[in-house]
Amino acid sequence: MYSVDEALEKILQVFTVLPAERIPLAQGLGRILAEPITARENLPPFDNSSMDGYALIAADAAHASAQNPITLKVVADIPAGTASDRVISRGEAARIMTGAPLPPGADCVIPIENTDNPPGQFTESGAFPPATVTLFRALQPGDYVRFAGEDIRPGDLILKAGRRLRPADLGALAGLGVPQVQVVRRPRVAILSTGDELLRADQPLVPGKIRDINSYALAASVLDMGAQVIPLGTAPDQLNVVLSKLEEAIRADADLILSSAGVSVGAYDVVKTAMESLGALDFWKVNMRPGRPLAFGRVGSIPFIGLPGNPVSALITFEVFARPAIRKMQGLSLHLSLDEAETTEDMASDGRRTYARVRLERDQGRLIARSTGTQSSGAIHSMVQAQGLLIIPEGMKYVPAGTKLPVRIFEHFEDET
C-alpha cells in the first residue's frame, strides 16, 4: 500500500514539461508562457499628453492664475493618431488631444478645463483650433505628460516563463508589438470510461444500466485546466473494444490516458489485460479515501492512469493524481498552497488520508467547513454540493469539532447559488 504522497511521486516521475509552440496572441488566454518576455520597445512609445488640452512651454505659464490669465497663440492642432513637427516657441501653444505626441519645444500640457476653452472653428474641411488660448493656472515642466517608457522600458522583464497568460498580459504584449508567443503545447488527455453498464447521457435507461458520469466530469476537469480532451467514449468490459480504444489514443498522440473503472479486482476487469498487451500496468492500493484502487502504467509510451469507477472517487483521484501530472506537463508549479478551515462538527475517518466533501463559509476571516452529509464515493451529488475538499491526514481517526485542517477550495465557489 502506498501513501498518497508516494503514489503521486511515482506518477510525477514519468511526466515532463511539453514542448513549446508559437501561437498568435489572440489565442493566448490561459496558455502557459514558455519563454520570458523582455520588452524591446518603450511603452508608451513617445511622450504624450494625458489630457485634452494645450501643449506649451511651462515657463510661459509660470505666473498664470485666474487673476493673472496668460494668453498664448495656438499654432498647431494635434489630434490623437497624428504627430506635429511644428516646434513650439515661447508664447505659443498647440491644441492637443489625450494620447497625442507632445510637439517639439513643448514641455507640458494644460488641461482644457484650466483654459478659457475657446471654441474652435468648424469648416467643411474639418475642425480648426482657435487662434489663441488663455491659461488660468501655472504649470511645471512635465505636467500632464506621459513620458516615453514610463510604463515599460526596453530590457524590462515583463513576463516570466511558466506564467499562465491573463488578459492584462495579452494587452501588454500587444502594446509592445509582440504578436505571437511561445507557449507550452496543450496536454492531450484521452478519456475512457469502461463498464458494461454505461450509457451516454442522451440514452434512455434500461434495466441494469446507468449513465456514464465520469467521461463528462473528467473531460470537464481536463478542459478547465486548459488541456485538450481526446474523447474515447465508453467501452464495455470487452477486451477487443478496450484495446481498440487504447489504440485510438495512440493514433491521436495522447500525452496521457485517463480511464475510469475496471481497475478493481472484479472478474470482468479487462483493462488490465488490454494494458498488458499494449504496455504495462501496475495496480496500486493507495492509502486514501475515497478512491483506494488506482492503476498506473503506459500504453506504448503514453502514461496511463486508471482511476476508480465511482464518480466521486474518479473526480477526487483526478484532483490528487491527474491534476498534478497535467500541471507538470504544462510547466506549472506543483506546490499549490492550501487554505485552512475549521470543522464545525465531530468527524470520523478510518485512518486513511481522507478527502471530505465540505461546504465552506467565511466567518470573520475564519473559514468554516461543514460536511456535505453523505461521503459515499458513489454519490455525485456530494461533489455537486461541495465547495472544497477537507483533507484529514493519515492516522487521524477522530476529528473533533474546531479542528483546523487543510482544505482545497474549488474554483468559482463564489459563483455558486
Q: Give the binding site for Mg ion (CB under 5 A).
A: 195, 261
Q: Which does 291 bind (CB under 5 to 8 A by kind): ligand AMP, Mg ion, none?
A: none
Q: Which three cell numbers stand for residue 51?
A: 489630457
Residue ranges with strand state E in 267-352 = 279-285, 288-289, 293-299, 302-307, 339-343, 347-348
Tell me the β-bridge partners of 383: none
- Residues of span 146-205 touching ligand AMP by CB under 6 A: 193, 195, 197-198
Is residue 317 part of the contact set for ligand AMP (CB under 6 A)? no
Residue 308 lies near ligand AMP (rule: CB under 6 A): yes
Helical pair 239-251 and 271-278, crossing angle rounded to 10 deg:
50
- 3-class secondary-structure state, position 11: helix
- Find the binding residues for ligand AMP in span 335-394 (CB under 6 A): 378
35 vs 197 by CB, closer to ligand AMP: 197
Which one of ligand AMP, Mg ion, none interacts with residue 308, CB within 5 to 8 A by kind?
ligand AMP
Task: Please identify, using beta-carbon distances, which residue of 32 and 261 lies nearer to Mg ion.
Answer: 261
Q: How far is the CB of 261 from Mg ion (least distance, A)?
A: 5
Q: Which does 264 bind (CB under 5 to 8 A by kind): Mg ion, ligand AMP, none?
A: ligand AMP
CA distance 316 to 355: 8
Span interacting with ligand AMP, options 4-12, 57-65, 210-218, 317-325, rule CB under 6 A: 210-218
Q: All 3 cell numbers of residue 283?
A: 495496480
Residue 316 within binding range of ligand AMP, rule CB under 6 A: no
Near ligand AMP in 212-231, by CB under 6 A: 212-214
Q: What is the distance between the alpha carbons of residues 184 and 245, in angstroms, rounded to a whole number?
A: 27
Nearer Cβ to ligand AMP (88/274)? 274
Q: Does 309 participate in binding ligand AMP (rule CB under 6 A)?
A: yes
Instruction: Identify what 193 binds: Mg ion, ligand AMP, none; CB under 5 to 8 Å per kind.
Output: ligand AMP
Report if residue 311 touches ligand AMP, rule: CB under 6 A.
Answer: yes
Which one of Mg ion, ligand AMP, none interacts with residue 307, CB within 5 to 8 A by kind? none
Give me the residue label for grid cell 478547465.
224
The DSSP-derived string for 135-186 is E-S---TTTTEEPTTSSB-TT-EEE-TTPBP-HHHHHHHHHTT--EEEEEPP
Contact 312, 376 (CB under 8 A): yes
Cis ω on the peptide bond leading into residue 19 (within 30° of 0)?
Answer: no
Which residues of this chain interact with ligand AMP, rule CB under 6 A? 193, 195, 197-198, 210, 212-214, 260-262, 264, 266, 308-311, 378
